Copies of this chain bind each other. A is one copy, B any other.
Amino acid sequence: EQVVGCIAAVSSSLHVGKAGPLVHTGACIASILGQGGSRKYRMTCKWLRHFKNDRDRRDLVTCGAGAGIAGAFRAPVAGVLFALETVSSRWRSALLWRAFFTTAVVAVVLRALIDICKRGRCGLFGKGGLIMFDVTSGYVNYHVIDLPPVITLAVFGGVLGSLYNFFLDKVLRLYNVINEKGRTYRLLLAATVSVCTSCCLFGLPWLAACKPCPADSREACPSIGRSGNFKKFQCPMHNYNDLASLFFNTNDDTIRNLYSNGTDHEFHITSILVFFIASYFLGIFSYGLALPSGLFVPVILTGAAYGRLVGMLIGSQSTLDHGLFAVLGSAALLGGSMRMTVSVCVVILELTNNLLMLPLVMLVLIISKTVADAFNANVYDLLVKLKGFPFLEGHAEPYMRQLSVSDVVTGPLQTFNGIEKVGRIVDILKATGHNGFPVVDEPPFSDTPLLYGLVLRSHLLVLLRKKEFISSSTASASDASKHFSPEDFAKRGSGKHDRIEDIELTAEELEMFVDLHPFTNTSPYTVVETMSLAKALILFREVGLRHLLVLPKTS
């Protein structure tokens, strides 16, 4: 589904990247594996059962995302780092090893496929080597005099990056309003944007003047009827339209064009300006349509145009090539909108194979991220917020230090007795959406009300389904747990939850009791009500909890 949508979107020349969908595809495959295969499609596997727990599943999704990036950019190390920097909220050395293993396999397979394709067996598919934009030709040198333009580029890159996030947020809010009106509106929206994009692509090149082909061109000029860097468009022979060259290429080719050095006079400044503005806003409007799309490639592309523009405007007294400015512009915009640092660094390194630029790229990233952080949050946080996912921030806000846990606890709390009536369990499960219930032993069974532990909704549902009930609340039922195997309580795949409405119980059964003691987690994590919210947040987040019991001070 994702794959098909991606092919359709890219081929309809919308302004989207292929990295995002590939990341999503990788994560989806990993998630299916993590669920022990999809039972719906009969793809179950005994061996995969080992991964049937939350942590391993999370790891698998992370690795899948890393593999996606590694595949999309042919940048394996960047894949590992991207997975860790953005996807994973927690870090363990085992996870690092797993992610590394995944992307290493991707790299080796990719290399083998490229080797096969080199022998000309796959047509246009798989052109190019392991390095996508190999633009180093010779030694890159730079001096103190180059710093002012680079710093200027970084500062404005940060501003543009945070503006990108701001506009994206606004546009996505608008889209959300439209999308909620129904499927027809959603398709209409996508069609409208698609038509507008096409109009831009075909209309804007008319603005640019024809340029004569350079005499020492490395490839055919103009290129007609095939992929190439010099598009003829409506120009006479031996002329090319530089704006059409930018618009009518694949994203990869355009980026390569912009990155290559020694091409300072190939593009006119107005063409670059028009292309920059067009791709900046097309990128914003194309994202968030009802189709799989990524942000990475559009931002790189827009950044490359931005960098060239800055290079043309203020790079005249520096010794840097405009191609290098384009690379730095990409870094600045990535740093400004995504706010990733290490992985962007490695992506740029792996894309351009230019290690000598590393100090400049790092400098640009630091500046643009700092500038952009002053304005708003990074694009992933904005998206998570917008989509309304229940995502818990890693660090505590200052106001949380002033609040105690008891200030944010909301009721009503539903608790169960150690030996509880079936009818009451069913009522409470139907009435609330809670996923965990404290089990409290009340006075008849203990001297004072005593917290016994925490029982999960999913486990209660398994209990109710098995119908191992006891007749009275005082009967002993120590053998109830023998009827259950660990398999019964194993976590199901997503989308396959039991529902309380699906369980049918007779009136007689509703009057019976069930002993919750054997099925209760007797040592849940607890905090006292006076603990500061910030401290509880750290506990919740670092240990990766789902339920945290708050105890009164005088228990």
Secondary structure call for the A interface = helix
**Complex CA distance for A526 and B551, rounded to whole angstroms:** 11
Known interface pairs A91-B90, A342-B80, A542-B542. Does A358 touch B107 (Cβ–Cβ under 8 Å)?
yes
**Complex CA distance for A506 and B345, rounded to whole angstroms:** 64
Among A93-101, A243-251, A465-473, the stretch in contact with B: A93-101
Chain B: which residue is nearest A350 at the CB level? Answer: B355
The proximity string for A residues 530-555 relative to B, scoring 1 for CB distances below 8 Å and 0 otherwise, is 11100100110011100000000011
Q: Nearest Cβ distance between residue A180 and chain B, in whole angstroms?
A: 33
CB-CB < 8 A to A363: which residues of B? Answer: 104, 108
Pair B554/A450 contact, Cβ less than 8 Å: yes
* CB of A420 within 8 Å of the partner chain: no
Q: Nearest Cβ distance between residue A530 and chain B, in whole angstroms?
A: 5
Pair A522/B526 contact, Cβ less than 8 Å: no
**Complex CA distance for A369 and B98, rounded to whole angstroms:** 12
Known interface pairs A359-B107, A527-B523. Does A100 touch B535 (Cβ–Cβ under 8 Å)?
no
* 8 Å CB contact of A543 from B110, B144, B542: B542
* CB of A115 within 8 Å of the partner chain: yes
Pair A359/B523 contact, Cβ less than 8 Å: no
- Chain A interface size, as a band, is 35 or more
**Complex CA distance for A532 and B522, rounded to whole angstroms:** 10
CB-CB < 8 A to A530: which residues of B? Answer: 522-523
* 8 Å CB contact of A527 from B94, B362, B525: B525
* 8 Å CB contact of A356 from B93, B130, B365, B542: B130
Pair A130/B359 contact, Cβ less than 8 Å: yes
* CB of A518 within 8 Å of the partner chain: no
CB-CB < 8 A to A101: which residues of B? Answer: 366
**Complex CA distance for A450 and B552, rounded to whole angstroms:** 12
CB-CB < 8 A to A356: which residues of B? Answer: 129-131
Pair A342/B528 contact, Cβ less than 8 Å: no
User: Which A residues between 292 and 351 are near B, CB-CB below 8 angstroms?
Assistant: 341-342, 345-346, 349-350
* CB of A394 within 8 Å of the partner chain: yes
* CB of A353 within 8 Å of the partner chain: yes
Pair B97/A341 contact, Cβ less than 8 Å: yes
Pair A341/B96 contact, Cβ less than 8 Å: yes
Chain B: which residue is nearest A92 at the CB level? Answer: B394
Pair A543/B539 contact, Cβ less than 8 Å: yes
Pair B76/A395 contact, Cβ less than 8 Å: no
Chain B: which residue is nearest A344 at the CB level? Answer: B100
**Complex CA distance for A91 and B90, rounded to whole angstroms:** 7
**Complex CA distance for A366 and B101, rounded to whole angstroms:** 7
CB-CB < 8 A to A353: which residues of B? Answer: 355
Pair B358/A130 contact, Cβ less than 8 Å: yes
* CB of A85 within 8 Å of the partner chain: yes
Q: Nearest Cβ distance between residue A503 and chain B, in whole angstroms?
A: 31
* CB of A111 within 8 Å of the partner chain: yes
The proximity string for A residues 362-389 relative to B, scoring 1 for CB distances below 8 Å and 0 otherwise, is 1101100100000000000000000000
**Complex CA distance for A144 and B118, rounded to whole angstroms:** 14
* CB of A77 within 8 Å of the partner chain: yes
* CB of A143 within 8 Å of the partner chain: yes
Q: Nearest Cβ distance between residue A329 and chain B, in whole angstroms?
A: 18
**Complex CA distance for A527 and B350, rounded to whole angstroms:** 47
* CB of A201 within 8 Å of the partner chain: no
Chain B: which residue is nearest A539 at the CB level? Answer: B543
* CB of A81 within 8 Å of the partner chain: yes
Chain B: which residue is nearest A452 at the CB level? Answer: B553
CB-CB < 8 A to A555: which residues of B? Answer: 555
Chain B: which residue is nearest A143 at the CB level? Answer: B115
* 8 Å CB contact of A104 from B131, B362, B394: B362
Q: Nearest Cβ distance between residue A522 and chain B, in whole angstroms?
A: 5
Q: Nearest Cβ distance between residue A165 and chain B, in whole angstroms?
A: 17
Which A residues have a C-beta under 8 Å from some C-beta of B?
A: 76-77, 80-81, 84-85, 90-94, 96-97, 100-101, 103-104, 107-108, 110-112, 115, 129-131, 143-144, 341-342, 345-346, 349-350, 353, 355-356, 358-359, 362-363, 365-366, 369, 394-395, 404, 450, 522-523, 525-528, 530-532, 535, 538-539, 542-544, 554-555
A/B interface sample: 18 pairs, CB < 8 A = A77-B342, A77-B349, A81-B342, A93-B394, A97-B369, A100-B345, A108-B359, A130-B356, A131-B355, A346-B346, A404-B523, A523-B527, A523-B531, A525-B539, A526-B528, A539-B539, A542-B544, A543-B543
Q: A91-B91, A104-B363 are in contact. List 19 more A-B contacts (CB 8 A).
A: A77-B345, A77-B349, A81-B81, A85-B96, A90-B91, A92-B395, A97-B369, A100-B341, A100-B345, A100-B365, A129-B356, A131-B355, A349-B349, A404-B523, A522-B528, A523-B530, A523-B531, A526-B528, A538-B543
